[in-house]
Chain A
Amino acid sequence: MALVLAPALPIRDWLAELDTLRSRSPGFFGGRAIMVDVTGLGLTKAELTALVGDLLDRGIRLMGIEGADPEALGPGLPPPVSGGKSIGILETPGEASRQPAPQPQPQVSSLMIEGSVRSGQSILHPDGDVTVLGSVASGAEIIAGGSIHIYGALRGRAIAGSTGHARARIFCRKFEAELLAIDGLYKAADDLWSRFRGQAVQVALDGDAIIITALD
């Protein structure tokens, strides 16, 4: 589960409000999975980089950016996500206009990776499924618009349905993941049920819950 920050224009005022919130409850953002939703703000790459930097200065590490212009994203910025589901428990400073992300049609293009994905490598394939014949190492990540199929061990991050595809799934032969996400819903390793460790599993979404089931 991730906390979503939705900045409002002007960013400077919003940051000031955020600082007030932080001073009231220090450590609020520590250790949380945090994303930022910039839908409708029309930020340029420079503005977005500045915002990410400002948040980092405040000790807020972003896991993803939602609603940004794809042109404005790139290396050095958190990965894009979309279709994250608001569960509306936490009020964010500067209530923003959240509109449901448009549901794109599921696409059919798929990406095949013959070997292993090594630590530090990131495979980004927003157009469809990703199949990895080897393993995904600790510190590596796969971000797919569709489902993710891993025939070796999953030790890194698997982010499926990143373009708003709730029916995407994650399959792996050996489950030791650091982070799982489907359609914007996240689970970090600490929340993952250890009884599936090392097993062949599939991961799917049931409503707002990430469900892991053994394959064998």
Chain B
Amino acid sequence: MAKIVVVTSGKGGVGKTTSTAALGAALAQGGSRVVVVDFDVGLRNLDLVMGAERRVVYDLINVVQGDAKLPQALIRDKRLDNLSLLPASQTRDKDALSEAGVARVLEELREKFDWILCDSPAGIERGATLAMRHADVAVVVTNPEVSSVRDSDRIIGLLDSKTEKAERGERMDKHLLLTRYDPARAERGEMLRVDDVLEILSIPLLGIIPESEEVLRASNVGSPVTLNNPVSAPARAYADAARRLKGEAVEMLIPSDRRGLLGKLFGRRAA
């Protein structure tokens, strides 16, 4: 049975798009049929992170408005056969999305895929509420800092009130994905610790993604970090998170990139 997952956060720049791509690729590596859907109409980025920006012909808006058929708009990933992308439109804005149209497209996707990952835009306006509206599961992406945590709290409130599932009186499954985590800085009190964030948000933890250069490197070459360098720390963390999303019990570890003695001596940054 297909599952619609919304990847959301409220605050911008915390890693929704990166996480959507990485989780999508990790789920596809596990053999599931996966589609990642970009809901950030007007500011589309998921196509870049997936490395498909030069293959976009039709987009979500075309399908929602009935100008194109779904198979015309879906872009199959070159690396993984069972991973597809439904891009957003860069020239339109969120008002072009209609609720009925989105519902119809998601229903159609349910028939073709096992996992439908919706990359929500930042904010709490129309785009974000439409992205979460039909979801079965929510992944709340949060950075270990106060503004991100408060915005995530706001989004959790909306997930519990403004989604179809909530309106039917059911409980929305919500998972916390803590990104850009630096254990050393958390230990020094320079960033919120995992416990602090969990205490405030009180939703189950899906994974802790360590701060890493690998993430930006992967984005820049247009590849989900789980495909670009599967042995890197963030890739392993995303792979574990994807397995937890499937319901597997995986021990919660914070992977790190082992550094040699020289790396430790010279790899320190001033910041």
Contacts and interface: CB of A to CB of B under 8 A. Distances in A.
Contact of B150 (A135, A139, A153): A139
Interface in B121-172: 124, 146, 150-151, 153-154, 156-158, 160
B202 A120 contact: no
A177 to B, nearest CB: 14
Contacts of A135: 200, 202
Nearest to A152: B202
A79 interface: no
A121 B202 contact: no
Contacts of B124: 120
A119 B202 contact: no
Interface in B190-246: 199-200, 202
Contacts of A140: 157
Interface string A133-146: 01101111000000
Contacts of B158: 120
B152 to A, nearest CB: 8
Contacts of A139: 150, 153-154
Report, as a range, how many residues of chain B touch the other chain. 10 to 19
A202 interface: no
A86 interface: no
Interface residues of A, number: 14
Interface in A154-185: 155
* Max count, chain B CB within 10 A of own CB: residue among A120, A134, A138: A120
B153 A138 contact: yes
A115 to B, nearest CB: 8
A118 B160 contact: yes
Interface string A88-128: 00000000000000000000000000011011110000000
Nearest to A120: B154
Nearest to B203: A116
B202 A116 contact: yes
Contacts of B200: 135, 137-138, 155
Contact of B154 (A115, A118, A153): A118
Nearest to B202: A116
B154 to A, nearest CB: 4
Contacts of A153: 199
* Max count, chain A CB within 10 A of own CB: residue among B124, B151, B153, B156: B153
A134 B157 CA distance: 13
Contacts of B151: 119
A120 B156 CA distance: 10
Contacts of B154: 118-120, 139
5 contacts: A115-B160, A119-B153, A120-B157, A135-B200, A138-B146
| Closest 7 A/B residue pairs (Cβ) | A118-B157, A119-B153, A119-B154, A120-B154, A137-B153, A118-B153, A121-B157
Interface of B: 124, 146, 150-151, 153-154, 156-158, 160, 199-200, 202
